[in-house]
Amino acid sequence: MSEQHAKQQEATFRSLTEMVQLAQKHLERGDWDYLVGAADTEASLRRNRAAVESWVFKPRILNDVSAVNIESQLLGSAMRIPVVLPPIGSVQAFEAGGGISVARAAKDYGILQILSSSCSPDYEAVAQGVPGPRIYQLYLTGDQDWMDDHIRRAMDAGYTGFCLTADTQVYSRRERDVMKGYVPMSGRSASAANGDFSHQASMTWDTIAHIKDTHDIPLIVKGVMHEDDAARCVEAGVDVIYVSNHGGRQLDHAMACIDALPQVSQAVAGRVPVVVDGGFMRGADVVKGLCLGADFVGMGRFEGLAMAAGGYAGLMRGLKILEQEIRISMALLGAPDLASLNSSLLQRAQSLAEPSVLSAFPLLDDY
């Protein structure tokens, strides 16, 4: 039996804790650390998780929650759950199918994938292999003409949105990788190893204006953490605001995404959808993000863990359990639909455990 087939066979885990256990079992140390690690002291990663855990629910009673509706739309695509699959570079390190396995799962489950330009197969191969709506995220490693060419090609391939990541002006220093001499799979080609970040570093508001003036495709800006930048994005015509600190993998000691979210949401004022990621691992976490102003929650490490646990089948199984957790949390919170979620259902409280990338799974070592 091939290793990939073995993963598919094992994608019958009963809980998200078992999903994480399988992922760690299947990955080599370097790939595992790449998935769970972050920049420098990893403070931004821990802060993301600490902040999510510091919000607690104030449930309401005697609301009819016999049917909990969590469906919505994003950029014209129906969304079965309020979750997007974020762009993950080197996703092929977690399962050989890489971006195309994620594309199949997203399509079959009924949510949107944001495909990273740093994973394989490339965006045109993924679109050919799995036709359907999805978003393409591009790191700028070429000039404006190069960028325009890739946007046009993505549009021709059927992509329904374009995502520009704005928090990777330079590549961060990730000590787990440095100490082992680990090179991510997306950086193992000669061209990638000598990656030129000068174009990424030189992005300005003029880049946003050029994209909006030149291309007829919805634009998502990822990496928004300041409310003033969120307001300026909306004024510049950006179609989706994506709150993210890159999972703690870029700027060390950045504030937690869920803490930036309320002010960003207030600045956006419902004019465009808001996506947030950063430390969201469970269904209850998703509900917290929605209560604080997000329309959708991105779950990058969740995606990587599910892929490592069982590829396409693992991601489908993980999403099913996640959906169950979202529905149960909303029913017990007294919220029959997404419109019922608001900040009055939350308050701050002291965290119960030392935050870590996997502190959402306290039973990991018990079974």
Q: Quick one: what percent of the chain has pLDDT higher than 70?
A: 93
pLDDT digits (tens, 9 = 90+) for 109-133: 999 999 999 999 999 999 999 999 9
Of 5, 150, 215, 246, the catalytic one is: 246
Q: Answer yes or no: is pLDDT of 11 > 90.
A: no
- The reported pLDDT for the residue numbered 259 is 98
Average pLDDT, the chain: 92
- pLDDT in the model for residue 289: 98
Tokens matching residue 14: 């009963």
Span 150-157, average pLDDT: 98
Amino acid 194: pLDDT:
44
Question: Would 364 be classed as within a structural domain?
Answer: no
Q: So what's the pLDDT on residue 195?
A: 53
For residue 196, the model assigns a pLDDT of 65
Distance between CA 262 and CA 273 in Å, rounded? 13
CA distance 32 to 35: 5
Given a cut of 80, whether residue 159 has pLDDT beyond it is: yes
Contacts of 144 (CB under 8 A, 6+ apart): 207, 210
**Total structural domains in the chain?**
1
pTM of the model: 0.93
C-alpha span between 344 and 292 (Å, rounded):
9
Cα-Cα end-to-end distance for the chain: 26
Closest CA to 279 of 262, 264, 293, 259: 259
Domain membership flag for residue 79: yes
Residue 363 belongs to some domain of the structure: no
Considering only 55-69, 99-113, 131-145, 190-204, which range has the smallest mean pLDDT? 190-204
pLDDT at position 4 over 80: no
Q: What is the pLDDT of residue 247?
A: 85
pLDDT of residue 100: 97
Closest CA to 265 of 168, 161, 341, 162: 341
pLDDT at 6: 47
pLDDT at 172 over 80: no
Active site residue 210: no
In a domain, 46, yes or no: yes
pLDDT above 90: residue 80: yes
Banded pLDDT at 185 (limits 50, 70, 90): low
Q: Which domain holds residue 265?
A: 3-348
Judge whether 298 and 242 are in contact, CB under 8 Å.
yes
Residue 365 domain-assigned? no
| Residues 265, 275: Cα–Cα separation, whole Å | 10
Q: What is the pLDDT of residues 211-251, one digit of tens each?
A: 999 999 999 999 999 999 999 999 999 999 999 999 888 89
Question: 341 near 295, Cβ under 8 Å?
Answer: no
In a domain, 357, yes or no: no
CATH number for the domain spanning 154: value is: 3.20.20.70
| pLDDT higher than threshold 90 for residue 10 | no
- The answer as to whether 362 is a domain residue is no
Quote the pLDDT of residue 186.
Answer: 60
340 — pLDDT class (breaks 50, 70, 90): very high
Is residue 148, in this structure, part of any structural domain at all?
A: yes
Please identify which residue in the block is written with the tokens 């005697």: 62
Mean pLDDT in residue range 65-76? 98
Angle between helices 205-214 and 144-156 (to 10 degrees): 40
Q: In this predicted structure, what is the pLDDT of residue 204?
A: 95
